[in-house]
Structure 1
Amino acid sequence: MAPNAAMIAVTGVDGSVWTLAGQGRGREGVELATSPSGLYDAPVTTIWNQSAFQTGSSFGGYRTNKRDVVFAVNVFEAAGRPWETVDSAWRKAWAYDRDAVLTITTDFGTRSLRLRMSEQPDFKPDKDPHLKGRSKVVMTCVAGNPWWVESDVTGVWTSTIDTTGPNSSQHGTIGIANPTDQPMWVKWVCSAPGRWTLPDFSWAADDDADRTIALPLTAAGQDLIVDTDPMEEMIVAADRSQIWALMNGVSFLYPVPAYTPATEVPVTVTGAPAGASVLAVQPRNWSRPWGLQ
């Protein structure tokens, strides 16, 4: 079976949708031109260290940078709208301080990249586009988050017994998987009241292979959002109380490694009525707009 062309679309900061490539290409009056750059692998800088008398250098790691994306579009009369109207609408879909969303859909799924302009659009017409009804505009954009993002996957576990009695608890499992090429930081959503114990596995054959973290006991109305990403606030209560202060400096340490197959991980609840639940939100971040499965 012949492969289908990738569908590329932009959702503007004003909510407008533009089909740049694939089925329906250009129906709004804008289509992707040739040779876009910055859309493939996430940009990386490797770090190499050298001592005074060392021959060569030693690898010191790498960092992932913001993604610079440059692409051109052809703008033309369409759907009964003259060129100038289409060109103006395309410009209003973009901003310097807000993100538009570039989405690429292939036979294997849909991934999105959040972009905003880093420079003004470049426009160098040979002749008056009002006469030709067509122009070429070059967009220079930046993605602060360089990952192509697929929809989150979730897993949930719900208790079936009341654990508010003395020394009462219930154990369960939630399926976790990371099919992407990037480490995955799980976000947990825990109901209240109750006290949850969540996994923080190292995913390695070491002392933290089965590490778990017990969260503070919560009261009704203190549902928790726990984000294991070290760049985010780790624990937030629905009532905005300072639950984080009760963690005594204990924090989540480990992401789920790339290409981790489906694995059942343990969760425990105590001090909660039957029906208490915990949700595992599993982000899907990719280096590329397609492939790498």
Structure 2
Amino acid sequence: MAYQRTDMTQYPSQHPDLRTPQGDYPPFGRPLTEYFQSWENVPPVLRSDQLTVIYVGVPDERGVRAMWHLAGPRRGLEGVALATDLSGLVMPEFERAWHESAWMTGAVPGHLSWPKRLLNLGVHISAPRLPRTILAADGRLERLVASSSADRYRLTHQLWWNSFSMDADGDLLCFTRTTGFRNLKVRLAKAPAGTLETDPAAFGNNRITVDLPLVASDPFFASPASMGTWRNNEDTATPLDALEELVRKVIPDADFTFAKTALALVAEALGNLIPGIDVGQGHIAVRNDGDVPAWPEYVIHSGSGGFCWLPDGDRMVMLPRLLPTDGKVLVSTDPSKKTFTAENEPVDIGFLGVVARSQLLDLVLKPFLEATEPLWRRGAEVFFTKPIPPKTTVQLPVRHSNENAVITARVPQRHYGPGI
């Protein structure tokens, strides 16, 4: 039997007793926009009032990373749900050194250190409600189909353990509407404790509860970094650029070591003594919204090279001359990290080591050595001492002598906990 769509506009003429509704009424109750005018009418999945906990595992041999919704509106969607035990999530451990003596009242607080964070993650592993779908390395969605609930449970159990590693970090993500996503890098700390009393698939249970001891080498949660960019232009072209070109024309083949040092001193003097006549200068607005002081990072694109100054509290730090062969340069102000990383780092071959140790060859081949000297060695005496305090918005002053230079500042956001 075939069904035919009825044209309601024909009813008044064919059946005078039937009338279409008068007025503008939605076909299925109240319209969606009106229904969601009240916050209480919004479904819980869209409200996201709950704490959402997601674990993204380490890549497998194909580069696929499994995602597990442990808590929140989609809890247990993939077959793994958070149990009641989750320790070490709220606040990392810290150690304070105290200085005290025999005749001293009380003690004087000393250095504060943050050791690694230890967590205990308790989860229920069971057969997922829906067939498991994973994202393959080539972008395709692959659906894992099992013939029985026991097979689905064991497949889920295997995929869960494959998401962890002793040598690589996975991502433990926490989300609330107030604080957004915060990420903690974790890996297995040791083998899980406990005994297996019976088959988890016995009697159709297909369920097991395990406690995973995890460790985070960085004890702080991370949220998206605060970033800003400053671009130099022709309006900030300075006498320094013209002076540099003049020196290159006068002594094109001579040793440029003294000349470039003199140019840097001239630029510094112009910037300090004559307002408005210095290298291109601007400000980058960033904010440290985290709970701990943040060390900014800078990505510098100098084009044809030049001099650059970066802030360190109230002082400006002059970087070593940036060469065109360096490419883009990453400058980290964190004392615990490498300060300079160039895009095109030169390779130190054995011949260069022999030349560097020979005074005669060093004198003859000095221009060649300077061209191959890595940026981190040229800037061995550059250091930074002032991080950005927590909950602070700053205007970072930056300078560059190249009119086409681009400087991008990145301030990492680090938090004590997930923001629950």
- TM-score, reference length from structure 2: 0.64
Give the C-alpha shift of residue 125 in structure 1: 4.1
Q: 1:200 aligns with which of 291, 312, 318?
A: 312
Q: 2:317 aligns with which of 199, 205, 213?
A: 213
Question: Gapped runs of 5+ residues in structure 1?
Answer: 202-209
Give the C-alpha shift of residue 128 in structure 1: 1.5
- In the alignment, which residue of structure 2 is the partner of 1:269? 400
Q: 1:10 aligns with which of 50, 55, 60?
A: 55
Which is further off, 50-59 or 82-91?
50-59
User: What do residues 160-186 of structure 1 show as CA deviations (whole Å, max 9, x unaligned)?
Assistant: 115532266211111121121110000
Q: Counterpart of 2:201 in 1: which secondary structure? A: helix
Give the C-alpha shift of residue 188 in structure 1: 0.5
> How far apart, CA to CA, are the structure 2 residues paired with 1:57 and 1:264?
38
- In the alignment, which residue of structure 1 is the partner of 2:229? 156
> How far apart, CA to CA, are the structure 1 residues paired with 2:409 and 2:325?
19
Letter in 1 for 2:395: E
Q: 1:98 aligns with which of 142, 154, 168?
A: 168
> How far apart, CA to CA, are the structure 1 residues paired with 2:200 and 2:168?
28
Give the C-alpha shift of residue 152 in structure 1: 1.4
**Correspondence list, 1:10-89, <5 A:** 10-14=55-59, 15-78=65-128, 79-80=130-131, 81=146, 82-89=152-159
Letter in 2 for 1:147: F
Q: Counterpart of 1:129 in 2: which secondary structure? A: coil
Judge conservation of contact 1:188–1:227 (CA < 8 Å) in 2: yes
Letter in 1 for 2:186: L
Letter in 2 for 1:95: S
- In the alignment, which residue of structure 2 is the partner of 1:183? 293
Q: Percent identity?
A: 28
Which is further off, 280-289 or 212-221?
212-221
Q: 1:243 aligns with which of 343, 364, 375?
A: 375
Q: Counterpart of 1:90 in 2: which secondary structure? A: helix
Give the C-alpha shift of residue 263 in structure 1: 2.3
Letter in 1 for 2:90: Y
Judge conservation of contact 1:125–1:136 (CA < 8 Å) in 2: no
- In the alignment, which residue of structure 2 is the partner of 1:145? 218
- In the alignment, which residue of structure 2 is the partner of 1:170? 280
Letter in 1 for 2:95: T
Give the C-alpha shift of residue 16 in structure 1: 0.7
Letter in 2 for 1:4: D
- In the alignment, which residue of structure 2 is the partner of 1:206? none
Judge conservation of contact 2:340–2:379 (CA < 8 Å) in 1: no
Question: Gapped runs of 5+ residues in structure 2?
Answer: 1-38, 41-47, 60-64, 132-145, 147-151, 244-266, 268-277, 347-373
- In the alignment, which residue of structure 1 is the partner of 2:330? 225
> How far apart, CA to CA, are the structure 2 residues paired with 1:225 and 1:134?
49
> How far apart, CA to CA, are the structure 2 residues paired with 1:198 and 1:54?
44
Judge conservation of contact 1:125–1:135 (CA < 8 Å) in 2: no
Residue 128 in structure 1 maps to residue 257 in structure 2: no
- TM-score, reference length from structure 1: 0.90
Letter in 1 for 2:242: G
Give the structure with higher Rg (CA): 2
Number of corresponding residues: 280
Give the C-alpha shift of residue 281 in structure 1: 0.8
Q: Counterpart of 1:199 in 2: which secondary structure? A: strand
Question: Alignment RMSD, CA only?
Answer: 1.8
Q: Counterpart of 1:102 in 2: which secondary structure? A: strand
> How far apart, CA to CA, are the structure 2 residues paired with 1:264 and 1:281?
13
Residue 115 in structure 1 maps to residue 219 in structure 2: no
Q: Counterpart of 1:35 in 2: which secondary structure? A: strand
> How far apart, CA to CA, are the structure 2 residues paired with 1:28 and 1:143?
24
Judge conservation of contact 1:13–1:98 (CA < 8 Å) in 2: yes
Give the C-alpha shift of residue 85 in structure 1: 1.2
> How far apart, CA to CA, are the structure 1 residues paired with 2:196 and 2:376?
57
